[in-house]
A = this chain, B = another copy of it.
Amino acid sequence: MLARLQVQCRDRPGIVAAIARFLADRGANITSSAQHSTDPEGGWFFLRMEAEVAATGGAAGAGAAGGAEADALAALREAFAAEVAEPFAMEWRLAPVGERVPVALLASREDHCLLDLLWRWRRGDLPMDVVAVVSNHELVRRDVEAFGVPFHHVPVPPGGKPEAEARMLELLAGQVRLAVLARYMQILSGDFLERLGAPVINIHHSFLPAFAGADPYARARERGVKIIGATAHYVTEVLDAGPIIEQDVARVTHRDDVAHLTAIGRDIERTVLARAVAWHLDGRVLVHDDRTVVF
């Protein structure tokens, strides 16, 4: 079984050696490894590793193959917690590589990011199960249902945000391990984010921190920038201020009016969002201090 380990903790000597010893003692073979330290002296340490570990668990032994893998993983986690994670006060996660994550996609009127994610998912490029698409509009229902994905229309009338968020929590809380705002144009409350209990990735249609807030393409046009962009980030309570996962840009000219900028931007948005989601699912994104480390 190929397993992925993510670790972050205060940096100090011996972290890598402790992890490598732990794995070697169990016959695991490290197949991929990346680490980063903000400062070897009292900085913060990040690591992502993939290792082939034996599927025969330490604990019991009954059960099917999947059960044996799960048992092996549980035993490995228990041992890792005691022998490595606690001594170094690590935040950590150990999961099978390729594990499918249950995900919800939220959209509004624009379909480009939503369809792009659904296409990639259907092609097998994203290791996720799309358990629901939620939109505050009916427009995308038919396309979504053609993918065999449940569609939920949760309108947000003026003053109706609390009800809408409550309805979405009924649908999603406990059901998903990631929510993706595929151009969902409603601001989510801090209370919603907390009760959802899963990270939320948003795509903002500007090169943050430039043009945070509304109508970024119109404001880019007004300012006369020569390059526009898009930003995928984790959502926090502070609008457009969460940790940035990925950005990309495209060149524009004086010939591009707001409609052109918007069309050019759509291609950036969907690519940037897809990369951010893929990297998140692949365990390549670690968050600390409102910034990301992307391995």
A positions within 8 Å CB-CB of B: 12-21, 23-24, 27-37, 40, 46, 52, 111-112, 115, 119, 123, 125, 146, 207-211, 223-227, 229, 243-249, 251, 253-255, 263, 267, 271, 274, 290-294
Contact = CB atoms under 8 A, between A and B. Distances in A.
B246 A226 contact: yes
Contacts of A119: 112, 115
Q: Which of A112, A254, A267, A294 has the most chain B CB atoms inside 10 A of its CB?
A: A254
A244 B225 CA distance: 6
A63 to B, nearest CB: 26
Copies of this chain present: 4
A292 B254 contact: yes
A40 B21 contact: no
- Which secondary structure dominates chain A's binding surface? mixed
Contacts of A15: 30
A40 B229 CA distance: 28
A248 B250 CA distance: 10
Nearest to A255: B36
Nearest to A275: B267
B244 A223 contact: yes
Given A20-B17, A27-B13, A35 B36 contact: no
